[in-house]
């Protein structure tokens, strides 16, 4: 689906064997059409820090995440995308959809309970 529609963010929720989320992330990041898309990975089991460093996901959430944790992860990957766009000014406009989304997410996150 990511190859045909090229989304802004990809969330991979995996019930796959241990190495398959890594393979999915590698396939997405290794393809020129999808390599720029931020990936949030939600595996069944959180890998240790050493193993998580090898996942080419932009964020990894525990399966028991809260709404606030998900919104913060989305906000973080949007922030990284804005920073990347600013680095290459040909793609950046000060009033872009990502900036508006980030401002909206700030408001939503402030209103969410901790759990």
For residue range 70-107, what is the model confidence (pLDDT) as tens digits? 888 988 888 887 777 777 666 556 666 666 666 767 77
Rounded to an integer, what distance in angstroms lies between the CA atom of residue 79 and that of residue 85? 10
pTM over 0.85: no
Q: Over pLDDT 70: what percentage of the chain?
A: 70
Whether residue 77 is found in the same domain as residue 49? no
Residue 6 and residue 55 share a domain: yes
> What is the torsion angle, in degrees rounded to the nearest 10, for the CA atoms of residue 59, residue 67, residue 103 and residue 111?
-150
The residue-averaged pLDDT of 20-27 equals 80
Tell me the per-residue pLDDT of 31-63, one tens digit each, with 9 for 90 and over.
888 888 888 888 777 666 666 666 788 888 887
Could you list the residue range(s) of the whole structural domain that residue 73 is in? 66-115
- pLDDT at site 89: 66
Q: Is there a single domain that holds both residue 49 and residue 88?
A: no
Both 20 and 56 in one domain: the answer is yes
**Distance (Å, whole) CA 56 – CA 40:** 10
Instruction: Tell me how far apart the alpha carbons of residues 114 and 68 are, in angstroms, rounded to a whole number.
Output: 7
E strand or H helix that includes residue 3? helix 2-5
CA dihedral angle for residue 51, residue 54, residue 55, residue 60, rounded to 10 degrees: 50
Residue 3 sits in the same domain as residue 59: yes
* CATH classification at residue 23: 3.40.50.2300
Q: Are residues 12 and 43 in the same domain?
A: yes
């Amino acid at each position: 689906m990511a190859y045909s529609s090229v989304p802004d963010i990809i969330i991979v929720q995996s019930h796959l064997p241990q190495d398959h989320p890594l393979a999915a992330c590698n396939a997405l990041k290794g393809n020129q059409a999808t390599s720029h898309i931020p990936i949030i990975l939600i595996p069944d089991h959180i890998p240790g820090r050493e193993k998580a460093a090898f996942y080419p996901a932009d964020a990894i959430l525990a399966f028991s995440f809260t709404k606030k944790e998900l919104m913060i992860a989305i906000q973080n990957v949007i922030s990284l995308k804005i920073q990347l766009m600013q680095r290459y000014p040909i793609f950046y406009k000060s009033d872009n959809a990502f900036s508006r989304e980030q401002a909206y997410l700030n408001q939503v996150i402030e209103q969410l309970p901790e759990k």
